Structure 1
Amino acid sequence: MIKISNLTFGYGKKKTLFQDLNLTMQTGHIYGLLGKNGAGKSTLLKNIAGLVFPQKGTCVVNGFDASKRLPAFLQDLFFIPEEVYMPALTATQFVKSTGHFYPSFNENQFDRMLAEFDVPNESLLSKLSFGQQKKVMIAFGLSTNTSLLIMDEPTNGLDIPSKSQFRKIIASALTESRCIVISTHQVRDLDNLIDSLIVVHNQQIVLNKSLDEISERLNFSTTPTSGADVLYAEESIRGINTITKNSIGSYSKVDMELLFNAIIADNQTVTEILN
């Protein structure tokens, strides 16, 4: 599906964001892309979508070089940026002007999702609130039924009920022939949604594992005190959130926020166990 090989990218010679970056993603997965501010998450997504071009290396999506932006590549990919700018059209008019660019677009599916999001399809999109505009783009992107759907901070602007609807709709839209990539700072918004985690840190992909693989190698728990076997810990209201090595094959739910904090704190032991 996506194969990035030895990709180097920067905005000018003085600011290199990625150096010889390698990454592979497959269909049938919802990937969560995490990284600190300025780590290059949005730029990585733009390289995959062919919106910016690498200085060196390649990004291949479904056999197409993303930088060439061929029509066959573009009609099977949809990218939802963090900031959306909607035209002075109704949702119905927007579908008529744009939907035909995507061969698998399903208007009935779009209408159902708008109804679930409680967004009127006859109001001018430019007059809707930012949150409602985001919902329209999410519904449209899912209804294109492209094999690759990329979303940059999709839950920004959504209220709590809408975030719950978002998780439900995204989960129902995943198929074995589709890959969904979501970049976010709001890790809790992806809880129970993503199945694979990618972390960008220090110009590299330092983690690209399924949550099942992570759970097989690490144990996440909340304890009254921090024991000697703890690899990383943070205090919380409920106690001390800890990461330990999973030496006995037990199962625990992956605390993505705790794991991310351990990685960006350059906890080498955690990183080595995972890789």
Structure 2
Amino acid sequence: MFISCTTFVLYYITNTPTTNIKNMIKLSNLSFGYSKNALLFKNLNLELQVGHIYGLLGKNGAGKSTLLKNIAGLVFPLDGACQVNGHDAAARLPSFLQELFFIPEEVYLPALNARGFVGSSGQFYPSFDHAGFYNMLEEFEVPADKMLNKLSFGQQKKVMIAFGLATNTGTLIMDEPTNGLDIPSKVQFRKIIAAALTDNRCIIISTHQVRDLDSLIDSLVVVHNQEIVLNKSLEEISEKIQFSTAVQAKKADILYQEDGDFGINTISINRAENYSKVDMELLFNAITNKSQAVTSYLN
């Protein structure tokens, strides 16, 4: 009897017992480049835990998308390893694939409506939430009966975000998910993502639009000069540094400053341990403008 490759993979996924390994992403001495003479990363180390929404920041060309593709097993390291939930990402075993969903920056959807798309692809994810998917489409105001390839780019992005969340995978990776979304849709996106986080899920969002992650993420990862220069929770960051104007900050404690719309904005040592909201845009500017004082103090 002939068994198609798709049928075999589906059978393997649905009949392979899942492990009880605590979901965690771990990069160990990972080196990657599209050629050995042009490494994008060298001996990169990174650990990400479940129960967090990570914001991945970096300048254009810093390697954010490539880093995400290594985690998703879409490209393979030249040296070192990337493990997700105890699995070697590069091996792309079915037990790994059923617990990870990756939403790329550019999406290309088939000539199917939402129901047909779920029927062909949702079955590969054992915990797929059909009702949740259609509810999110309705909240995003995306018609479920239209051909997906005929939708606007923004609507296609919304379909993939809704599908990714509905998979209920332990790891959800999104590369520039807010590109193509209007302002109301970005507000909806933040609400939906925040509600999707559980203690058993790790969500990673890469963006160059820092403000889109405001009030959404709880941890920040920054890639700069081929290195992970920061991997801290916002709580850890706010305990060590504070964000204010030059008038409010003590001059001796200022680690970084730049001109703002209403004066000079500063990052300074939080000696009094007073809470201040993390200004991610200012912090990112400090890191990428070669301010060693900020990164050294935080690390």
- Which TM-score band applies after superposition, normalised by the shorter structure? over 0.9
| 1:167 and 2:190 are equivalent in the alignment | yes
Deviates more, 1:192-201 or 1:222-231: 222-231
| 1:28 and 2:37 are equivalent in the alignment | no
Aligned to 1:239: 263
TM-score, normalization by structure 2: 0.90
Structure 2 CA distance for aligned equivalents of residues 98 and 13 of structure 1: 36
TM-fit CA distance, 1:37? 1.0
- May I ask how many residue pairs the two structures share in their alignment? 275
TM-fit CA distance, 1:274? 0.5
| 1:139 and 2:162 are equivalent in the alignment | yes
Q: Contact 2:56–2:223 at 8 Å: present in 1 too?
A: yes
Q: 1:198 aligns with which of 194, 211, 221?
A: 221
Q: Contact 2:256–2:293 at 8 Å: present in 1 too?
A: no
TM-fit CA distance, 1:222? 2.9
Q: What are the within-5 Å matches in structure 2 for residues 208-223 of structure 1?
A: 208-223=231-246
Aligned to 2:20: none
Q: Contact 2:26–2:84 at 8 Å: present in 1 too?
A: yes
Q: 1:255 aligns with which of 279, 291, 299?
A: 279
Q: What 5-or-longer segments of structure 2 have no aligned partner?
A: 1-23
Q: Look up the equivalent residue of 2:227 and give its one-letter code.
A: Q
Q: Deviations over 1:103-136 (max 9, x none)?
A: 0001000010001100000000000000000000
TM-fit CA distance, 1:43? 0.2
Q: Deviations over 1:228-268 (max 9, x none)?
A: 23211121212221100101111000001110111111211
Q: Look up the equivalent residue of 2:140 and give its one-letter code.
A: F
Q: Contact 2:82–2:88 at 8 Å: present in 1 too?
A: yes
Deviates more, 1:100-109 or 1:6-15: 6-15
Aligned-pair identity (%): 71
Deviates more, 1:233-242 or 1:42-51: 233-242
Q: Contact 2:52–2:202 at 8 Å: present in 1 too?
A: yes
Deviates more, 1:229-238 or 1:27-36: 229-238
TM-fit CA distance, 1:226? 7.3
Q: 1:9 aligns with which of 13, 17, 32?
A: 32
Q: Look up the equivalent residue of 1:135 and give its one-letter code.
A: K
Aligned to 1:18: 41
Larger radius of gyration: 2
Q: Contact 1:226–1:233 at 8 Å: present in 2 too?
A: no
Q: Contact 2:220–2:231 at 8 Å: present in 1 too?
A: yes
| 1:188 and 2:188 are equivalent in the alignment | no
Q: Contact 1:8–1:54 at 8 Å: present in 2 too?
A: yes
Q: Contact 1:198–1:209 at 8 Å: present in 2 too?
A: yes
Q: Deviations over 1:17-50 (max 9, x none)?
A: 1010000000000000001111100000000000
Q: Contact 1:195–1:211 at 8 Å: present in 2 too?
A: yes
Q: Deviations over 1:205-242 (max 9, x none)?
A: 01000000000000001345875232111212122211
